[in-house]
């Protein structure tokens, strides 16, 4: 589904991603973990072209999402192509990013109408189905500020799904939530995984990584230190000192 080949990324002179190869297969759930500042968000943002690698290539179903100018420097594709890629790879952020001045329903139908160009009636029908799926049908006409953080994040997930993405990226989707609201978001994500959604998830929720992840990828200082199935990653005999240290800092 998605292939990253020898990705490097610098900000000014600072090397943040130092050569990452990563493939995500269709239906796979890849959980990305690692210390703060290790490059997880930058990596995720490159996966849907919110950020461009300094070197390397990113392919969605075999097609490069990057564009190189005559100097070989990565530049943006044109806006139309870019919005097509962004629609195909949905992103859910730590801070929800809902439109504050739009109702829940309006938040969900905006993208389908303006980017997917579907009729409003159909967009509403699909949105109602998705609201039911995330358990928030009764919030349809409310504004985001009247919802809890967990509810807002479930709406953000419904909004991402409304674009019918091929893949979903989650960047610490539960990190901004009060502890008692984390579970309701993880349940929605787990259901998506069981339905076969292809997902890359940056999270510190090791229970989720263990239970839902097909692979756990540990990133430190811009490189992949380990890429392993959870049973291996969490095994007490995991020989990697940096990983053991990281795991001991959580909870």
203 binds, among ligand ADP, Mg ion, none (CB under 5 to 8 A by kind): none
Contact residues toward ligand ADP (CB under 6 A) are 11, 16, 34, 36-42
CB-wise, 184 or 220, nearer to ligand ADP? Answer: 220
Q: Which is nearer to ligand ADP, 127 or 217 (CB)?
A: 217
Count the alpha carbons within 13 Å of 40 in the hemisphere toward its beta carbon.
Answer: 26
Which positions touch Mg ion (CB under 5 A)?
Answer: 40-41
Q: Closer CB to Mg ion, residue 147 or residue 170? A: 170
Instruction: Return d(Cα 95, Cα 243) in angstroms, integer.
Output: 27
Structure tokens at 250: 């959580």
Shortest CB 31 distance to Mg ion, Å? 14
- Which of ligand ADP, Mg ion, none does 39 bind, CB closer than 5 to 8 A by kind? ligand ADP
How would you write 81-115 as a 3-class SS string?
A: HHHHHHHHEEEECCCCCCCCCCCHHHHHHHHHHHC
Interacting partner of 42 out of Mg ion, ligand ADP, none (Cβ under 5 to 8 A depending on kind): ligand ADP
CB of 36 to Mg ion, least distance (A): 7
Nearest CB to ligand ADP, comparing residues 38 and 151: 38
Q: Decide: helix, strand or coil at residue 29.
A: strand
* Minimum distance of Mg ion from residue 175's CB (angstroms): 9
Record the tokens describing residue 17, joined without a space.
């991603």
How much is the CA Rg of the chain, to the nearest whole Å?
A: 18
- Least separation in angstroms between residue 9's CB and ligand ADP is 8
Identify which of 138, 77, 56, 143 has the alpha carbon closest to the alpha carbon of residue 107.
143
Closest CB to ligand ADP among residues 164, 204: 204
CA gap 235, 195 in Å, rounded: 27
CB of 40 to Mg ion, least distance (A): 5
Which option in Mg ion, ligand ADP, none does residue 152 bind, with CB closer than 5 to 8 A by kind?
none
Q: Is the dihedral of CA 109, 110, 113, 116 positive or negative?
A: negative
């Amino acid at each position: 589904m998605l292939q990253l080949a020898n990705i490097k990324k610098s900000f000014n002179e600072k090397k943040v991603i130092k050569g990452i190869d990563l493939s995500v297969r269709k239906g796979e759930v890849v959980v990305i973990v690692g210390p703060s500042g290790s490059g997880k968000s930058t990596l995720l943002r490159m996966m849907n072209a919110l950020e461009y690698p300094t070197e390397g290539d990113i392919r969605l179903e075999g097609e490069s999402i990057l564009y190189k100018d005559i100097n070989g420097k990565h530049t943006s594709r044109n806006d139309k192509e870019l919005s097509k890629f962004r629609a195909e790879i949905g992103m859910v952020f730590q801070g929800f990013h809902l439109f504050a001045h739009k109702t829940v329903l309006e938040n969900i139908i905006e993208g389908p109408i303006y980017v997917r160009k579907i009729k409003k009636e159909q967009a509403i029908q699909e949105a109602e189905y998705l609201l039911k799926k995330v358990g928030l049908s009764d919030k349809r006409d409310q504004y985001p500020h009247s919802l809890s953080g967990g509810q807002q994040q479930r709406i953000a997930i419904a909004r991402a799904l409304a674009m019918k993405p091929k893949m979903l990226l989650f960047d610490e989707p539960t990190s901004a939530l009060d502890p008692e609201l984390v579970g309701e978001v993880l349940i929605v994500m787990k259901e998506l995984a069981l339905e076969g959604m292809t997902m890359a998830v940056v999270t510190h929720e090791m229970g989720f990584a263990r239970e839902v992840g097909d692979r756990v990828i540990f990133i430190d200082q811009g490189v992949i230190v380990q890429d392993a199935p959870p049973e291996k990653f969490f095994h007490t005999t995991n020989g990697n000192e940096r990983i053991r240290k990281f795991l001991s800092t959580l909870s």
